[in-house]
Structure formats: structure tokens, C-alpha cells
Amino acid sequence: MKEFNKERFNQFDLAVVIISIAEMYIPGNISGFSCFRAFRLFKILRLFRVGDLRILLDSIQFTLTTIGDYVILLLLFIYVFALIGMSFFAGKINFDEDYKCVPRGDPTGVPTRKSFDGLGDAILTIF
């Protein structure tokens, strides 16, 4: 029993099991105990401590820190091309009910989809 209690994850597992058993025997739906179900998900943290998964997470973290400059460059390109798209296509594309492109002056054309009419829509379209 002493070996079992030495490790914190074992104590956490014991607490989760006791709460789950107590929840089964309490009549009615008590939301106070049902929130402890989410603590069962923390058991997966045990996998991140040692082993190949730890090595994989460390390599992902290193990769993400080294590509920061490239992400900034990519965001700059997306921003520039969104501005170019807005200058060419803003307010010029309309669609009918069948989502077919119609000319700008056509009275049946309704701007149902946003493409380059605003900066946020243009960035999303380029992305």
C-alpha cells in the first residue's frame, strides 16, 4: 500500500474511482458530482511524462519555436494578397439563388457570399 500511495497519479486515480462510485449510488442528478467526470481526462497526462510520447512532444515544441519567422512571413503574404484581391474584386462579384456568378449590374444578383468585400473576408478567402 505504501508503494501505491507514493505516486500522485495513483492517488488521483483512487480519488476519481471513489467519486465515480459515490456518484452511482447518489439518487437523482446532482451536477456537483458530475463535473468530476472531466477529471478522468487528466489521467491521460500520465502518458506525457515519459517515453516516446514525451520525445515526440519535445520535438514538436522545438519545431514550432523554430518556424516562428516563417509563420510571420506567411501571414504577411496572406495580408498582401488579401489587399490585392480587395483592390481587384471588392464589390464586383454577386451570386444568384443557385450560387452562380452574375454581373454586378444584374438586379437578380445578390451578394450572398462574402469574398473580397472586407479585409476579414478577404483574408479568410486567401487562407
Confidence band for 63, pLDDT divided at 50, 70 and 90: very high
Side-chain-side CA neighbours of residue 27 (13 Å): 0
Q: In this structure, what DSSP letter does residue 94 have?
A: E
Confidence band for 21, pLDDT divided at 50, 70 and 90: confident
Stronger pLDDT, 108 or 42, i.e. the higher one: 42
Helix/strand/coil percent split, the chain, to 5: 70, 5, 30
Confidence band for 23, pLDDT divided at 50, 70 and 90: confident
C-alpha to C-alpha distances, 54 to 7, 8, 11, 13, 121, nearest whole angstrom? 19, 19, 22, 21, 39
Single-letter amino acid, residue 45: L
Mean pLDDT of the chain: 77
d(CA 86, CA 117): 7
Percent of the chain with pLDDT over 70: 65
